[in-house]
Amino acid sequence: MDDLLQDLIAYAIEKKASDIHLVVQNQKLQIKLRTQNDMLDVYQDIWQPAFFEYLKFISRMDLTSPYVPQSGQFKILFHNHEIFCRFSMLNNHNVQTGVIRMLNTMHAIELNALSLWKEDTNFFNSLVPLRQGLVISVGPTNSGKTTTLHALLHEIAKTKKHKVVSLEDPIEIEDDSYLQLQINESMGFTYDVGIEQLLRHDPDIICIGETRNSYTAKMVLRASLTGHFVFTSIHAKDGKECIRRLEDLGVSKKDLASVCTAIISQRLYSRGDSKVCVYEIMDQKTLQYVLEHGRYPKEFKTLSKKITEGIEKGYIVDAQAKYDSLGFSG
């Protein structure tokens, strides 16, 4: 079974997949890979339902409770590099589904290589010397939020002037230039506990990997208000939806206006053999306008405008981009 897993992980990395999807039904195991552009079928007659059980075993799931949704993790050595994998499973009637999220397969990107738009690069560099505020990275899964936050943290840490600490679940890009702490809920080290402990260790720059609930949102706000420069991410469509989500989590518009430096929304698209990230950057001035009027200024470059511009300039060669550009609010 271990050799099969090695082969599957190797194939997924070769295809630049982010996740491996598994479905057991009618005593058959189906496997698909989530790549940048689509879901790729893995056609092999070697995959048996027993492989799904093996994944549950190595992920240290409770095999005596097969009908309870569970998550676990395992690691595998690939080319002398440890790949951490998180495995989540559901069992519903006669169907079992599971997803393997592969971690530590991402590569670091320099800050100046994040965007093909010069104005974006200039803005990112303007954040490096700051020492107080809040930067929120916004987008769906696989939109490049982690890569953006890492590049910013790495550039700040390179100055060696301040203590940079991140709290992540999981650590997707390893970086020796700053302290990275990984959430371990089974050991009681949750985001809630981690944030409280982190604030006692005299950090200057803090990254909270994801703001998931009202308590985390409250602590992110508290850290920003007490003289720290805080980075976090939120799953939302764009900047306006991010504001609505924060309000739902108990963050008032007044508090957001007082601490937020920028809301950076993004999408990741194919550019042939490479990828391009498209950013909507809502700075403090734009944020104030949106909070007061409930809409973007006319001259503001929304995600829709940036995607359209990227297609016209030949930056993006991804069919999905055109559909996405029509789905954003103005």
Task: Please tell me whether residues 78 and 172 are part of one structural domain.
Answer: no
Of the three residues 103, 120, 136, the one that is the final residue of a domain is 103
* Helix (H/G/I), strand (E/B), else coil: 62: coil
Express each pLDDT in 118-164 by its tens digit. Answer: 999 999 999 999 999 999 999 998 899 999 999 999 999 999 899 99
**Residue found by looking up tokens 């301040």 in the block:** 162
Non-local CB neighbours of 123 within 8 Å, separated by 6+ positions: 262, 281, 283
Task: Please tell me whether residues 129 and 269 are part of one structural domain.
Answer: yes
Question: Region 214-234: what's the mean pLDDT?
Answer: 94
Which range among 26-30, 102-106, 213-217 shows the weakest confidence by mean pLDDT?
102-106
Question: Region 257-286: what's the mean pLDDT?
Answer: 93
- What percent of the chain lies above the pLDDT cut of 90? 65
Task: Please tell me whether residues 97 and 169 are part of one structural domain.
Answer: no
Residue 28 tokens read as 């058959």
Residue at 200 is within a domain: yes
Task: Please tell me whether residues 240 and 181 are part of one structural domain.
Answer: yes
Which range among 12-21, 214-223, 318-327 shows the weakest confidence by mean pLDDT?
318-327
Task: Please tell me whether residues 96 and 116 are part of one structural domain.
Answer: no
For residue 7, what is the domain's CATH number?
3.30.450.90
**Residue found by looking up tokens 């169907």 in the block:** 95
Task: Please tell me whether residues 36 and 142 are part of one structural domain.
Answer: no
Residue at 304 is within a domain: yes
Task: Please tell me whether residues 95 and 139 are part of one structural domain.
Answer: no
Of the three residues 57, 78, 103, the one that is the final residue of a domain is 103
* pTM: predicted TM-score of the whole model, two decimal places: 0.83
Query: Above 70 in pLDDT, residue 105?
Result: no
Q: Are 282 and 248 in contact (CB under 8 A)?
A: no
Task: Please tell me whether residues 255 and 311 are part of one structural domain.
Answer: yes
Query: Above 90 in pLDDT, residue 52?
Result: yes
Residue at 78 is within a domain: yes
DSSP 37: S
Residue 130 tokens read as 């700051």
Residues of the domain holding 179: 111-325
Residue at 320 is within a domain: yes
Task: Please tell me whether residues 85 and 129 are part of one structural domain.
Answer: no
Q: Into how many domains does the chain fold?
A: 2
Residue at 139 is within a domain: yes
